[in-house]
Amino acid sequence: AQKITQTQPGMFVQEKEAVTLDCTYDTSDQSYGLFWYKQPSSGEMIFLIYQGSYDEQNATEGRYSLNFQKARKSANLVISASQLGDSAMYFCAMRDNNNDMRFGAGTRLTVKP
Amino acid sequence: EAGVAQSPRYKIIEKRQSVAFWCNPISGHATLYWYQQILGQGPKLLIQFQNNGVVDDSQLPKDRFSAERLKGVDSTLKIQPAKLEDSAVYLCASSSGALRVTDTQYFGPGTRLTVL
């Protein structure tokens, strides 16, 4: 069964600094997709970035980038130039050929002014 | 483009009562998902629809939970009777329906259920 691990329950970062949120995964499938979502206190899950297992380049979306290390089965999210509005829960998720999306337990990011 | 709509946003009920949640997916999205998110945890898939057919309901507690998507658009999730442990946020999501690993899910604002 697929498993997603986020080892950092909480992280702090200074405004304008970069921060890396860790995510490791476990699957026996060769084809899978990795996703990161942001969940502010309002509760909505906001899609941030996607990485396919066959993608050779690391995904980037604005200030978000995904450090994909396939051999180590890690898909860390990097947020550059942190802003106060980045304070939220961040969830890593994976979808493989079973089609269901599995989420990690999340990391709470707090951006300090 | 309108996002995923859910109602109500909040609901408080007594245990053993019934409750229903409604979801309207993004227009044109064939696949609809219901998730349960207990405080401090990631979302857990309850049921997945492709158009009006069920793709996966393996984690749906079928003795008390039911869901339908009769016309392949809107969906309702019902709990009858509710238990204290059902207190959670119920998230609806939709995707284009390609049923591929690349298929991105977009979420609604969720319904926060409190069972007293």
Is 70 exceeded by the pLDDT of residue B1?
A: no
Q: What is the pLDDT of residues A22-58, one digit of tens each?
A: 999 999 889 999 999 999 998 889 999 999 999 989 9
In B3-87, the DSSP E strands lie at: 5-7, 10-13, 19-24, 31-37, 44-50, 53-56, 65-68, 75-79
Nearest CA in chain B to A93: B42
- Alpha carbon of residue B102 to chain centroid: 21
Q: Give the Cα separation of B61 and B25 in Å (integer).
A: 23
The pLDDT score that the predictor gives to residue B52 is 85
**CA of A47, closest CA in chain B: separation in Å?**
7
Residues 6+ apart with CB under 8 A from A3: A25, A26, A102
Q: How many residues does chain B have?
A: 116
Residues of A in contact with B32 (CB under 8 A): none
Tokens coding A83: 């802003």
Nearest CA in chain B to A5: B42
Residues of A in contact with B26 (CB under 8 A): none
The pLDDT score that the predictor gives to residue B99 is 64
Mean pLDDT of B75-85: 97
> What is the percentage of chain B residues whose pLDDT exceeds 90?
83
Residue B20 touches chain A, beta carbons under 8 Å: no
Tokens coding A51: 């990485």
